[in-house]
A and B are shown apart, each in its own frame.
Chain A
Amino acid sequence: MNIPNSSTAPAAGEYAGDEVSAIVLDPGYSTVRAGFAGEDVPKSVCPSFYGLTDEGKYLFGENAIHAPVGNVNIKNYWGSDGIVEDWDTATKLWEYAITSRLTGARPGDPAKNGLNDGADANGDAMDMDIDAIENNEKPLEDSPLLVTEPGWNSAKAREKYIEIAMEDWGTPAFFLQKTGVLAAFASGKASGIIIDVGASHTSVTPVLDGMVLRKGVQKSPLAGNFVSSQIRQTFKQATPEIPLTPHYLVQSKTQVDAGAPAQATYKSFSSNPPTDSFRLNEEDRILTEFKESVVEVWPGPGRFTNGTNEELAKNMPGRPFEMPDGWNQVFGPERFRAAEGLFDASAALTSETNPRPKDEQTIPRLVQAAVQQVDADQRPMLLSNIVVTGGSTLLYKFNERLNYEINNIYPSTRNKLIAPGSVVERKYAAWIGGSILASLGSFHQLWISKKEYEEHGAGIVEKRCR
């Protein structure tokens, strides 16, 4: 029996009170990941898209942004350059991601302690009015915070991160680390080339001994969202045009023959229809499903457009897809097209609004440019540690193609791709790396404490977080 003193209360301070669990925040274009250091998956994964009502009310979280109501614009706080643009919203959204699933709202918060809302039967109350919380205690007063940043973050943006953490959230200690380094840590590497294909950007980051080679960092907008827009064009250019009807517009669907027009009963939103941006976001859900179940990367050898490859693809069995309205078709060789632009700019589908991507934006060229910036004697070592991460690398056969392309550029070195097997590790690599880093005992020396921040100001982040 292991309960000798089961009735004695612990003395004050008897339990390990000095062990505080840090919070790791990994904001991305598509989702924000947050969780406690030392755990193996982020507990809180919250969409970076948010709703803004006409009255200026913010709606955060999956439940709120997918509810088809009128007057809500779905937005994202990231800028097109891969740097946070709307800092005010970013602060609120990150805070929501942390408080909703990790720490909980502070007690005594008048907005939600139940004393004031009485019989509030208003349906979609998922939306929290963050403003009301502001004059209360700060949300992170007892947790150190590790935040990830993209490799190309500007100095000004970096200072902003620490200002939010210290001023708005009152965190006792803070550290900023680049996603590339953390993704390498997650795979147990201190050096390597990190290829991160996310939603808005693809980046290639050379990391040497845990330090990012800043001049080697490459990024391009050819990533998940680019593939989505390629799929949209595929649908548009098909004859007849393939309709893209999101779920919320459909009441119920009827089975139809492949390629036949849909015969669904639709819902009508006569009085207060959801906005266009809402529809766009809901359409993206279907495109995600399409990417998961249909899109395939041409695995090589050679590019898809080369020689007889397209002929080969035609003989492969097609893959069917059914739209929410019941329209369905089998996708043959065109399913290879959508992702081909990631590797071969000339193969990308173009239109007036979507110009042809530049050649140097493709993944092979990014890798080449990044490796170019590294000392020649370090290159073989880096090329034997190529870490692949990011949700868009889950495209079917992506790794085969990447492997082919890299071996094509560097035939003489021993190139090795390190791609985590589990989907979770691939998607959340940077967060997992952060979780490992922040739980290390030695990491406590790295933190920027509140005192140091007060003494040196926001500029300290440039000195300490390299």
Chain B
Amino acid sequence: MPPFKDDQIIIIAPGSETTVAQLGLPESFTPARVRVRSRMFPAEKEGEYEPYKIRRKQDKHGATTSEPKDGAQEEKKSNEDEDEEIVWEEDRVSEEGAIWPIQEGRIVDWPCFFALITHVYNTLNPVFHTAILLVTQPAWTPREHEKLTQFFFEKFKTPAFGLMDAALATSWAYGVHTATIVDVGKDKADVTAVSAFIPHTQGRVISLSGCGGEAFTQGLLSKLKSKGLNRDMCEQLKRSPICEILPVGVPVPGSGESPEHTTISNPAAAASTGALASGPAAAAAIGNAPRGPGVDTEVGEDAGIDESEGVLDVASIVAGGKMTEYLAKKEREKQDKANAKKKGAPAPEANKPVRLPNSRREKATFLYEDHALLDNLKNMNLNTQDMADAKSALDEGPSRRQHENGENGELNPANEAKGIGSIRRDIEVGNERFMAGSNGTLEKIADAVHRTISAVDEVAQRSELWDSLIICGNGSKLRGFKEALLQSIQSKYLISPSSATMFTSEIPSNISTPAGTGANTPQPQLGPHGGSQVNPLLLAATTAQTPHLMPHGGNHLMPGMSHNTHSSHGQTPTSIKFVKPPEYFPEWKDVGFDESAFLGAQVAAKVIFVVDQGQSKGYMTRPDYNDQGPQGIHDYSL
């Protein structure tokens, strides 16, 4: 009988932005059931943490505790002693003052990290006899592994514990033993070469900072800041389907023929050309969706509201106490819009090109959920009715709620309730939305891949690594990113067949007549075009003969084909390919394999806890821990 059943296994994969976890392995592996944002809030008491922001609230009526506020997302918790009029409110949406214990893949705040793990563990609420598999980030050091081991055994009294490297887990998920894994996270990217299920620790690019999803947000921000968008808006723009990285050669709409890469030297120019090309009014209108034909009504009015700044930054208007004015203005706009429609004025321009593919449209709109505004409203201590009124007045996107939730739900199913109470507005952006990657992020990652593979000591393994590229991580979700990265790598590093050797014979002239064994017969796939596949039989045969003289995987019989048994080039890569994602995980197929490390951990958990049962030391048991202490974990990790 196996020591652990399928439903007695916990998998936790912490990340800089999101920590995913699951209790039990289903029959068919599904994406993680529990997703929490990797952040905690400091509690009242020093050194303690809460999973949600606790807001201190002065309650005027005292009776509102029972009143549901606005949907399910806010639970009011009144203090036990009712005479004091302080009410603590758990705010599940706000992230003000949060501490993010993992930064760029490294654990920077251990007490907070442990609190986060404890929160995840309690959320799963496992039975006592439950094994834990933790997916580790490459940036964690062996000493930190020991620390984690100690924590898990002593805090949760787990009967068995295992660690698994995230890159290795990804290769398990794809079912390939050799791969180059590019894991694009929030602030960083890790590039790992894995050969025969063993990650190359030397030369591994760990936590390449400024190369994650955040870099794209910043890239958008740098382009759109002048248009009045803030970071939060750019973040949501990045996640919306209208933001994508166009392949090289596809012109950015509205900017003539310049592809995105050429704009690196002069981002402002491209941004401005986009604005210029879109007509005189548009320059001012970008990002200001609710305007419509009623533009002129705004001009010359509303001295109280700074037009250029304030329209987007509603949050500060509200905070500044000018909400009533703003609402009045909006009301007028709506009126104007309605009037315009009645008059039979042409429909707003934005509605027409909707049917064009995104990459051809000059401008597009996305729905923005204004959390900052919500925070401000809450801080103003409005009573419930006012709050609801304000919300409905400011909210512009009820009709599209479903659609937008589908988008967000994919990223944050745990916060399902998130969209309901929030305030949404349409924001229109120009072709800046195609320039998320224009700050050199792609080149940086491409260089890291080249460095990682070049650092693999065995030259013979390199071409196989180039041929099995995996890009994963939630930072790589940006549309078009993977293709653009592959293109970027290919245009810079691919070695083309040399014209000088293209037409020479495949076999060097001084080779002896092939022996009857067939071992020396050139394989047909060894052609100069992309023929980097090393025949494994040939390699095995040659390496076995002369093990001590194999620095380059070469061979005495074939001096011309020495270095990596490739026909003409000793250099790599002669071809670069993606690994095909696995096909037998239907649930994963729907959401994509960006979190394939978690899938790999599921596969591994099944193997090491249930199938292997600890025979090959895939995990550490409680007695092992008692004998060897935290340092023993190094003998057990995968």
B451 at the A interface (CB under 8 A): yes
Interface locus among A145-153, A192-200, A228-236, A324-332: A324-332
Contact B559 A114 (CB under 8 A): no
Complex: chain B residue closest to A271, CB-CB: B265
Partner of B108, one of A15, A113, A427: A113
Contact between B448 and A41, CB atoms less than 8 A apart: no
Assembled-state Cα–Cα distance A43/B145 (Å) = 14
Q: CB of B457 within 8 A of chain A?
A: yes
CB of B160 closer than 8 Å to a CB of A: yes
Chain A residue at minimal CB-CB distance from B144: A104
Bound complex: CA A324 to CA B569 (Å): 14
Contact at A248–B501, with CB atoms within 8 Å?
A: no
C-alpha gap A318/B457 in the complex (Å): 24
How far, in angstroms, from A400 to B458 measured CA to CA in the complex? 19
Cα of A14 to Cα of B143 in the assembled complex, Å: 19
| List of B residues within 8 angstroms of A124 by Cβ | 209-210
Q: Give the residues in chain A near B206, CB-CB below 8 Å.
A: 63, 101
B261 to A1, Cβ gap below 8 A? no
Q: Which residue of A lies closest to B460 (CB)?
A: A423
Would you give the shortest CB distance from A36 to chain B, in whole angstroms? Answer: 7
Docked complex Cα distance between A113 and B261 (Å): 36
A5 near B622: Cβ-Cβ < 8 Å: yes
Contact count band on A: 35 or more
- In the bound assembly, the distance between CA atoms of A15 and B3 in angstroms comes to 24
Assess whether A426 is in contact with B143, with CB atoms less than 8 Å apart: no
Interface code B324-338, partner A: CB below 8 Å = 1, 0 otherwise? 000000000000000
CB of A258 within 8 A of CB of B500, answer yes
Asked if A411 is at the interface of the complex by the 8 Å CB criterion, the answer is no
A404 is an interface residue with CB less than 8 A from chain B: no
- Tell me the chain B residues, 553-590 only, with Cβ under 8 Å from chain A: 554, 559-560, 562-564, 568-571
- Report the minimal beta-carbon distance from B633 to chain A, rounded to whole angstroms: 12
B563 touches A322 (CB 8 A): no
The answer to whether B551 touches A394 (Cβ under 8 A) is yes
Kindly identify which residue among A5, A19, A326 contacts B623, using a CB–CB cutoff of 8 Å. A5
Q: A66-B451, A102-B143, A292-B570 are in contact. Are A4 and B457 (CB under 8 A)?
A: no
A57 within 8 A of B: no
Residues of A within 8 Å of B157, CB to CB, are 7, 9
- Contacts A125-B210, A426-B551 known; A114 to B142 CB distance under 8 Å? no
Asked if B129 lies at the interface with its beta carbon under 8 angstroms from chain A, I say: yes
A103 to B141, CA, bound (A): 6
B-facing residues in A89-141 (Cβ within 8 Å):
99-105, 107, 112-115, 117, 119, 121-126
A36-B444 in contact given A125-B209, A419-B548, A421-B550 (Cβ < 8 Å): no
Neighbouring A residues of B79 by C-beta, 8 Å: none
A303 interface residue per 8 A CB criterion:
no
Q: Which of B591-638 contact A (CB under 8 A)?
A: 614, 621-623, 625-632
Contact A318–B500 (Cβ < 8 Å)? yes
CA distance A293 to B265 in the complex (A): 35
Contact of B570 among A104, A125, A252, A319 (CB under 8 A): A319
Expressed in whole angstroms, the minimum distance between the Cβ of B234 and any Cβ of chain A is 11
Q: Which of A12-31 contact B (CB under 8 A)?
A: 14-17, 19, 21
- The answer to whether B110 touches A123, judged by C-beta atoms less than 8 angstroms apart, is no
Are B498 and A123 in contact, with the CB atoms below 8 A? no
The CA-CA distance from A259 to B568 in the complex, in Å, is 16
| Nearest A residue to B624, CB-CB | A2
A62 at the interface (CB under 8 A from B): yes
**Judging by beta carbons under 8 Å apart, are A63 and B205 in contact?**
yes
Partner of B210, one of A42, A123, A424: A123
How far does the alpha carbon of A294 sit from the alpha carbon of B205 in the complex, in Å? 26
| A contact face: mostly helix, strand, loop, or mixed | loop
Please give the distance in Å from B536's CB to the nearest CB on chain A: 18
Query: In the complex where A293-B563, A322-B498, A421-B547 touch, is A43 in contact with B201 (Cβ < 8 A)?
Result: yes
Q: Assess whether A262 is interfacial by the CB under 8 Å rule.
A: no
Q: A67-B444, A255-B496 are in contact. Are A423 and B207 (CB under 8 A)?
A: no
Question: Given the complex, which residues of A lie within 8 Å of B492, measured CB to CB?
Answer: 247, 250-253, 324
- Of B143, B458, B499, the residue contacting A423 (CB under 8 A) is B458
User: A285 near B: Cβ within 8 Å?
Assistant: yes
Tell me if B154 counts as interface (CB < 8 A to partner A): yes
Contact B551 A6 (CB under 8 A): no
Contact: A293 with B459, CB < 8 Å?
yes
B451 touches A21 (CB 8 A): no
Bound-state CA distance A442–B379 (Å) is 67
Contact with B along A418-435 (1 / 0, CB 8 A): 011111101100000000
Which residue in A100, A114, A317, A426 is a CB contact (below 8 Å) of B101? A114
* B203 close to A15 (CB less than 8 A): no
* Chain B interface size, under 10 / 10 to 19 / 20 to 34 / 35 or more: 35 or more
Give the contacting residue for B265; candidates A248, A268, A398; CB below 8 A: A268
Q: How far is the CB of B569 from chain A (nearest CB, A)?
A: 6
The reply to whether A423 and B141 form a contact with Cβ atoms under 8 Å apart is: no
Give complex CA distance A121, B100 in Å: 14
Find chain A residues with CB under 8 A from B508 CB.
316-317
Write out the residue numbers on chain B whose beta carbons fall within 8 Å of the beta carbon of A66. Answer: 447, 451
Scan B491-527; emit 1 where CB is below 8 A from any A CB, else 0. Answer: 1110110111100100011100000000000000000
* Interface status of A10 (Cβ within 8 A of chain B): yes
Q: How far is the CA of A330 from the CA of B144 in the complex (A)?
A: 49
Whether the pair A399, B549 counts as a contact (CB closer than 8 A) is yes
B454 within 8 A of A: yes
Distance in angstroms between the alpha carbons of A420 and B551 in the assembled complex = 9
* Chain A, 278-324, CB within 8 A of any chain B CB: 285, 288-289, 292-294, 315-322, 324
Whether A343 is near chain B, meaning CB under 8 Å from some CB there, is no
Contacts of A319 in B (CB 8 A): 563, 570
B545 CB, min distance to chain A CBs, angstroms: 12
**Which residues of chain B are near A248, meaning CB under 8 Å?**
447
User: Which residue of B is nearest A419, CB measured?
Assistant: B548
Residue picked from A5, A63, A255, A419, most chain B C-beta under 10 Å:
A63
Whether, in the assembled complex, A445 has its beta carbon less than 8 Å from a beta carbon of chain B, the answer is: no
Q: How far is the CA of A6 from the CA of B627 in the complex (A)?
A: 12
Min CB–CB distance A426 → chain B (angstroms): 7
Indicate if the CB atoms of B631 and A112 lie closer than 8 Å. Answer: no
Instruction: State whether A258 and B99 are in contact (beta carbons under 8 Å apart), knowing that A19-B631, A45-B203, A101-B141 are contacts in the complex.
Output: no
Of B99, B231, B451, B509, the contact of A114 (CB 8 Å cutoff) = B99
Smallest Cβ-Cβ distance to B562: which chain A residue:
A396
Kindly state the separation between the CA atoms of A104 and B495 in the bound complex, as whole angstroms.
39
> CB of A88 within 8 A of chain B?
no
Asked if B165 is at the interface (CB within 8 A of a chain A CB), the reply is no
Chain A 28-58 per-residue mask, 1 if CB under 8 angstroms from chain B, else 0: 0000000010000111010000000000000
- Tell whether A257 pairs with B559 under 8 Å between CB atoms, given A16-B628, A21-B631, A396-B552: no
* Residues on B with beta carbons closer than 8 Å to the beta carbon of A424: 202, 457
- A104 with B209, Cβ < 8 A, contacts A4-B623, A330-B498 known: no
Q: By the criterion CB–CB under 8 Å, are A121 and B498 in contact?
A: no
Contacts of A45 in B (CB 8 A): 201-203
Enumerate the 4 nearest inter-chain pairs by beta-carbon distance, A residue then B residue, closest first.
Answer: A293-B570, A15-B629, A123-B210, A114-B108
CB<8 Å pairs between A and B, sample of 14:
A4-B623, A16-B628, A42-B202, A101-B206, A107-B110, A115-B99, A250-B492, A251-B492, A267-B264, A292-B552, A293-B570, A317-B560, A422-B457, A427-B457
Q: A123-B209, A292-B563, A328-B499 given. 8 additional CB < 8 A pairs?
A: A15-B628, A63-B205, A107-B110, A123-B215, A316-B560, A326-B496, A398-B551, A423-B458
Binding site for B on A (CB under 8 A): 1-10, 14-17, 19, 21, 36, 41-43, 45, 62-63, 66-67, 99-105, 107, 112-115, 117, 119, 121-126, 247-248, 250-253, 255, 257-259, 267-268, 270, 285, 288-289, 292-294, 315-322, 324, 326, 328-330, 394-396, 398-400, 419-424, 426-427
| B residues apposed to A, CB below 8 Å | 1, 3, 99-101, 103-104, 106, 108-110, 112, 128-129, 140-144, 154, 157, 159-160, 201-203, 205-210, 214-215, 218, 231, 248, 261, 264-265, 444, 447-448, 450-451, 454, 457-459, 491-493, 495-496, 498-501, 504, 508-510, 547-552, 554, 559-560, 562-564, 568-571, 614, 621-623, 625-632
